[in-house]
Structure 1
Amino acid sequence: MNEVVFLSGQVEVTANNVRLLQLFEDEQSNCAVVALHPPDDPTQVVALNLREQWWCVDDLLRTSNKSRSGLVLVQSIMERMIVFMLSQVIERSSQEEMMFSLHPSTESCKLLWTENQAVGFYTVKHKGSLCDSWSSYCYLLPVLDTVLVRRSWRRRGFGLRMLEDFCSSFSTEEFLGVSSPLSSSMVEVCRRFLQQHKEHRERLYEVEAPGGWNQRRNIWLNIQLGRYSLSINVESSPTLGETAENEADSSSPKMQTECT
């Protein structure tokens, strides 16, 4: 009997509890991975099949490579697989709908590694990159688009660390954006960051794509005016970890952005 053993039990591999998962949003991309789920819950992934071998998802998020520490630019297909697992698989309850849209295969990402584990990531829409696949609109400034920290690693300042890294990575840009809408937990991260870094108060904006001046709101100013709902306890936020991706068409529905 072919079974996969993991921390909370074991799952038999049968035709009824394996399925293909698309890795990227690109319609022309044929990148997919075979996933194993419990027979009574097809929404929960317990293992992935890579190179003809089953790997528990927790094992795939660990590394023995000492150079993987801190924020590391995503370059390999395996690193993109880890971003996929963090955004689509990890800590998703059976009743929870998919919170994240799939990322493009060329999305600019950084993974956050600590204690030999992948604990989060953030993605960026670069200035001049297309806003979507159906229009000719391009981003007018760099935009921090998605931020995620795993639930078990929150309340340790990692969200603040990723925002700092984003801003320092574009030190020559006059203005930077964060995808709209901002969740209460993202507002709290921005508030703490801007309290510590006054030089960024006139630089950081909440933006809708493509980021023209009529699509920007200064984050620090709106915090001071009380136009955001601040999260006192971001750990208890029921939607913590969701994503937002701007659309050039303002009539398109937007998902809530969450981070910590």
Structure 2
Amino acid sequence: MFPVDFPLVDETDLRAASEKYLLSLESRPKNEWFQSSKTSKLEITANSIKWLQLFEGDQTKCSILALHPPDDPTQVVALYLHGSWWCVNDIIRTSCKSRTDLLPVQSLMERVIMFLLNQVIERPSQEETHFSLHTRTESAKLLWRDGQAVGFYTVKHKGSLYDSWSSSCYSMPVLDTVLVRRSWRRQGLGHKMLSDFCSSFSSEEVLGISMPLSASMVAVCRHFLYLNEAQRDRLYEVEAPGGWTQRRNIWLNIQLSRYLLTVDEVD
């Protein structure tokens, strides 16, 4: 079993277990090591552990313990979950055969997986968009393939608040973040998530995708809209919260060559 397959745990218990572990670390009679690969291991000390905040704008500061090389705190080798250290690649895996395809994110462990995909495993290059932390209530779906999470997308729902300091609300459902792991790209998964988003809100006349569209997302949209003529008048690139002056039709702008198209990196 992997962390996502364990009984549900809430963030209070997760934090309490992590704090208890930290307190006991210095009093342990012998050094503790983590096998980071088949050929190397990492000593677990206070200098190789840090707290990672999971959610954006989180007042309660839901955090998890992360293990990193002592000389590079920007790396994340493992997380402390369910009383043990788990390597990053195992945390995004599952032994549950029914966990396949696109499934709604519901548990804390699934949000941990989103965090890892977003902030650790698929850290963007200089040419790619850097996704910020998501909120704890962000509506999302994880994409599962061959016993592992390979991507996700998030949605801002119509009527939900745009920010915490004004009364502005989204005027339509908006596809906010789409991520596919690099090793799984060019297999139609970006297209699959966009199609799922559109079919999930079939009663809505218009749908949005957060501005600005990356070149890879433009390529996904171009392919999707070429095959789905009925969606061409529905999909808009929107600046939050998506009023009429904050949206532009994606298909029209593709036809007018207003996007820079490159080799598809998401689909």
TM bucket by the smaller chain? 0.7 to 0.9
Cα deviation for residue 29 of structure 1 reads 2.6
User: Structure 1 residues 96, 172: CA separation in 2 closer, same or farther (over 3 Å shift)?
Assistant: closer
Matched, 1:152 2:179: no
Aligned position for 2:116: 85
Cα deviation for residue 7 of structure 1 reads 2.8
Equivalent-residue separation in structure 1 for 2:129 and 2:54 (angstroms): 14
CA RMSD of superposed structures (Å): 1.8
Cα deviation for residue 10 of structure 1 reads 1.7
Equivalent-residue separation in structure 1 for 2:206 and 2:135 (angstroms): 24
Matched, 1:170 2:201: yes
What stretches of structure 1 move > 4 A for 4+ residues in a row?
A: 93-98
Structure 1 or 2: larger helix share? 2
Tell me which of 215, 219, 243 is aligned to 1:212. 243
Aligned position for 1:192: 223
Matched, 1:21 2:52: yes
Cα deviation for residue 214 of structure 1 reads 0.6
Equivalent-residue separation in structure 2 for 1:195 and 1:104 (angstroms): 33
Equivalent-residue separation in structure 1 for 2:122 and 2:35 (angstroms): 18
Equivalent-residue separation in structure 2 for 1:190 and 1:46 (angstroms): 35
Equivalent-residue separation in structure 1 for 2:80 and 2:129 (angstroms): 21
Structure 2 counterpart of 1:92, one-letter code: R
Matched, 1:7 2:27: no
Equivalent-residue separation in structure 2 for 1:138 and 1:93 (angstroms): 29
Equivalent-residue separation in structure 1 for 2:253 and 2:195 (angstroms): 20
Bigger relative CO (Cα 8 Å, ≥ 6 apart): 1
Moved more, 41-50 or 97-106: 97-106
Tell me which of 156, 174, 177 is aligned to 1:125. 156
Equivalent-residue separation in structure 2 for 1:213 and 1:21 (angstroms): 39
Contact 1:17–1:42 under 8 Å retained in 2:
yes
The total of aligned residue pairs comes to 236
Cα deviation for residue 3 of structure 1 reads 1.2
Aligned position for 2:94: 63
Equivalent-residue separation in structure 2 for 1:94 and 1:182 (angstroms): 17
Aligned position for 1:103: 134
Return 5+ residue gaps in structure 1 as ranges: 236-258
Moved more, 131-140 or 92-101: 92-101
Cα deviation for residue 217 of structure 1 reads 0.4
Return 5+ residue gaps in structure 2 as ranges: 1-30
Instruction: Give the TM-score normalised by structure 2.
Output: 0.85
Cα deviation for residue 27 of structure 1 reads 3.1
Aligned position for 2:172: 141
Equivalent-residue separation in structure 2 for 1:168 and 1:157 (angstroms): 16
For residues 130-152 of structure 1, the C-alpha deviation after alignment (integer angstroms, 9 at most, x for no partner) is 11112111000000000000111
Contact 2:58–2:136 under 8 Å retained in 1:
no
Equivalent-residue separation in structure 1 for 2:42 and 2:127 (angstroms): 22
Equivalent-residue separation in structure 2 for 1:77 and 1:32 (angstroms): 11
**SS state at 1:234 partner:** coil
Cα deviation for residue 100 of structure 1 reads 2.1
The structure with the larger Rg is 2
Equivalent-residue separation in structure 2 for 1:149 and 1:139 (angstroms): 25
Instruction: Give the TM-score normalised by structure 1.
Output: 0.87
Equivalent-residue separation in structure 1 for 2:114 and 2:168 (angstroms): 26
